Amino acid sequence: MTPGREYLNDRDYTLVVFDLRVPGSVVRLHSERAAWQEHADIEMLDFNHAVLIVRPGAAGRLAS
């Protein structure tokens, strides 16, 4: 479980880890989050690493 949020174990999620020390990674993280809109969340792993969590089926909903 992540702080403040639960993710059900019966579904698959796409996880993308970002190393925020890499130039441009913060901009890319927020750009990707904006593209997925309400179908994604950002969770911090530590001060330098974030994970983008994309919920299953989001691509199909976005394409329609």
- For 47-63, write each residue's pLDDT tens digit: 999 999 998 765 554 45
Compute φ and ψ for 23, nearest 5 degrees.
-55, 130
7 domain-assigned: no
- Residue 52: name the closest of 1, 26, 9, 21 by CA: 26
32 domain-assigned: yes
Distance, CA of 13 to CA of 52 (rounded, Å): 10
Please give the model's pTM, rounded to 2 decimal places.
Answer: 0.71
46 domain-assigned: yes
**Where does the pLDDT of residue 13 fall: very low under 50, low under 70, confident under 90, or very high at 90 and above?**
confident
28 domain-assigned: yes
End-to-end CA distance of the chain: 31
**Number of domains the chain contains:** 1
